Amino acid sequence: MAPSKPSSSDPSARSPSPFGESEWVIHIRNSLEEEIEEEDIKTPVSIFCVPEALVSGKPEAYRPQLFALGPYHHWQPKLYDMQRHKIASARRTKSRMQGPKLEELAQLFMKREHKIRRYYHRHINHSKETIAWMMVVDACFLLEFLQNYTENNREMIRKKLTSTPSRRVETERMKMGYNMVLRDVVMLENQIPLYVLRKLMNFLCPSTESADIELSQMLSGFAKEVCPFKTMDADQSGVDDIVGHAHLLELVYHTIVPKQKLELVEEATAKDIDVDEEEEDDHEVEPKGVEFGDTSYVRSAYNWFKNMTPSLDGPLIGSVKRAVVSGPVRLLVKFPWKVVSALPVLSIAKKPIEGYFASLMKEKSEHMDQSSSHIDRPPLVEEIAIPSVADLFNSGVSFRPTAGGDVTGIAFDAKTATMRLPVVTLDVNTEVVLRNLVAYEASVVAGPLVFTRYTELMNGIVDTEEDVRILRRGGVVENRMKSDGEAAALWNGMSKSVRLTKVGFLDTVIRDVNKYYRSRWRVKAKGFMKKYVFGSWQVLTFLAAALLLFLTCVQAFCSVYSCNSHLTKISSVRA
């Protein structure tokens, strides 16, 4: 039986080795003796295979569907059919060259083979000549695609959209094709180093400076078009900052999460962890055991009632509260439980009360143990739980855009009940962009996963189309998709992440929002009914059965002793 071939859709599938055994030995000897420039060694890995945990949810969002760029998907049959379009781009680029030719560029890439390889996380099992020509052709195609994002070309497209109907139809058809290519271009596994684009531009422009300026204009226009967030920092970036990124996806990521602000977030998160550790060291844990001679049960009941009724109003509740905080009750609280439980009425309910408050004390001690052991651990999934936009809106929270436009500006003001979120534009390309940004961050960033935490926040607060509608009215969401329901499905699909992490300012926002929401009287009443009424169905069943038994006894008694005649005599005497 012939050995099974690896799946063409698997990025880990490798082409056959270009070496025999003797050639392999010669290749290894030459590689060890070859001098590698220090710049090549310092090049960090930045192009990764997407973790399978993310790919399994929606493979088409991570694996190219039309064009392959770079070595990971180069030999896939369904993508290799489009190779002729890339070769056509290379021909057009070659015709623009007046001096050096593409062959010289390929020779340069063969000399800098080690630098190109170091960008990729997975081993590239191709010869240096194959890698060099692959980079030449892909760079020509990508550069021609990026030229659509220069200001002149964008202005030309806008004019076509306002011209005759036939031209508009043609332009819309072209736009659909560009969107398909665009989604492939932003995928993490489909990146090529911007280094090769810069070298190609040097061959096309009279000087390195003019090449970087022209390339930075293309990249800046691309980032503005692709980035779902309209940030202020994107317009303030210099030429070196733009062309100095490893690849296109990294450029988009740092447009959303600027490097300077990311460093501040990492420092603040580290300080928060240190403060939590100091507070935990200084905190005195209460003893787990509760003796019957202690006053904890009575004090717990007293404090529980005071905490449950801070905002209640009315004559009846006011009287009850005055009775609870009166002198005799305060004196009763100070008595040991043995004395209080010996009273005639409370002695009947002694065991249920002891059991209830003992369970409360046990839960409290377990919670303190868990909190002390989880200081350095990432947050649990249930800690990300947050009310939906509709629930927050109904409790008085309003939603407004952030000032800077990036995710580091997310905040919640409890005084004004205002939650500030970055303005996000949702269209046919947004989901692919967001998913690959999450994959890139999980693969590259060692510190807090700021963008991943943002997607988890949006996944938590957006459940239905009503949530999207409220955010759209607040100016936080610009929806260019077919419906608000489709936009809600986009966020609900962003549920998987590779790892959880602490992000200080976002965790603070989530905690403050939950605290504000739970402090509302309507939410308290709903929670009370759910926990103590609907959750106590055994007690309600017992009371209903007792009431039914009582009514049955009354009916039997009246049937024997003629209650109706007695009631008639009593009413006649009163009359």
**String of DSSP letters for 446-513:** -S--HHHHHHHHHHHH--SHHHHHHHHHTTSEEE-SS-HHHHHHHHHH----S-----HHHHHHHHHH
Please state the domain extents for the chain.
30-227, 287-373, 381-529, 537-574
What mean pLDDT value characterizes the chain?
77
**What's the average model confidence in pLDDT over 365-380?**
51
> Could you tell me which residue, 95 or 349, shows the higher pLDDT?
95
Q: Which structure tokens are listed for 32?
A: 């060890």
- Range with the lowest mean pLDDT among 186-200, 227-241, 371-385, 431-445? 371-385
- Nearest Cα residue to 438 out of 91, 168, 151, 62: 62
The pTM for the full model equals: 0.71
- CA dist 556 to 196, 553, 565, Å? 97, 5, 15
Q: What percent of the chain has pLDDT over 70?
A: 62
pLDDT at 140: 96
Cα–Cα distance, 183 to 63 (Å, whole number): 10
Exposure of 41 in the CB half-sphere (CA atoms within 13 A): 5
pLDDT tens-place string over residues 474-514: 999 999 999 999 999 999 988 777 777 778 889 999 999 99
pLDDT at 371: 47
pLDDT at 175: 72
Cα–Cα distance, 92 to 101 (Å, whole number): 12
pLDDT at 388: 93
pLDDT tens-place string over residues 242-281: 888 999 999 999 999 887 777 776 666 666 655 555 555 5
Cβ pair 99, 220 in contact under 8 A: no
**What's the average model confidence in pLDDT over 524-534?**
63
pLDDT at 567: 62
pLDDT at 374: 45
pLDDT above 60 (res 317)? no
**What's the average model confidence in pLDDT over 345-366?**
56
Cα–Cα distance, 438 to 454 (Å, whole number): 10
**What's the average model confidence in pLDDT over 90-117?**
90
Query: Band of the pLDDT at 342, cuts 50, 70, 90?
Result: low
Point out which residues pair with 75 in neighbouring strands. none
| Cβ neighbours for 41, distance < 8 A, ≥ 6 positions apart | 114, 118
pLDDT above 50 (res 108)? yes
pLDDT at 404: 79
- Nearest Cα residue to 527 out of 540, 518, 539, 536: 518
**What's the average model confidence in pLDDT over 345-361?**
55
What is the amino acid identity at position 18?
Answer: P
Q: How wide is the angle at C-alpha 524 spanned by C-alphas 464 and 355, nearest 5°? A: 120
Query: Band of the pLDDT at 85, cuts 50, 70, 90?
Result: very high
* Phi-psi label, residue 312: left if phi above 0, alpha if psi -120 to 50, beta otherwise: beta
